[in-house]
Amino acid sequence: MNRIIIQEQDFDLSTEVTLARGADSNIGAIVSFVGTVRDLENESIKKMTLEHYLSMTEKALESIVEKAKNRWPIGNTTVIHRVGDLSINDQIVLVITTSKHRKAAFESCEFIMDYLKTQAPFWKKEHTATESKWVEAKDNDANQIDKWR
C-alpha cells in the first residue's frame, strides 16, 4: 500500500506508523523520518510558506516511491507533505517505509527523502522580521542524490 498525502493539517506519527504496519505479518522493520521547520542560523524565521501544484506534486511523489519499490523489497510506504504556512518546530514531511528487513527499510526511506528534497515540486518561502525570500536548492541535497545513481 502506498499512501501519498499532501495536506495543510499536521499529522500524528504514531497513527501513521500503525497505518503503515497494517495487518501484514511479514513486516519486520518500520522506518520513519519526520522533517521539521528549523530556525535560520543568522535570523529567526517567523514562518515558512510551502506551495505546490497538486497534480504535478502527487505524480512526482508517486514516481519517487515507485523508484524505491523497484530498488528494494519494501512493503507499505507513506509520504505526507504539508503545505501552507508553518512555524518553527512544525512538522513538514513524513516518510515511512516497511520491509521484512531493516536495511531495505532504512535505505528506501533515505532514498525517498533524498529524492523528495530534489525532485518534488514544492516551493518554500522563508519569512523573517526583515524579509521574505524563496529558498534555493542546496548543493548538498543534489550531492545526496549522486550516491543513489
Mean pLDDT of 91-120: 96
User: Distance between the two ends of the chain, CA-based, in angstroms?
Assistant: 26
pLDDT class for 47, splitting at 50, 70, 90? very high
The pLDDT of residue 93 is above 80 = yes
**Three cell numbers, residue 146:** 549522486
pLDDT class for 143, splitting at 50, 70, 90? confident
Report the 3 state secondary structure along 73-111.
CEEEEEEEEECEEECCCCEEEEEEEEECCHHHHHHHHHH
Domains and CATH numbers, the chain: 2-146 (3.90.1170.40)
Sign of CA dihedral 10, 15, 17, 21: negative
For the chain, count helices (H), then strands (E): 4, 8
**pTM for this prediction:** 0.94
The pLDDT of residue 40 is above 80 = no
Looking at per-residue confidence, does 23 or 32 come out higher? 32
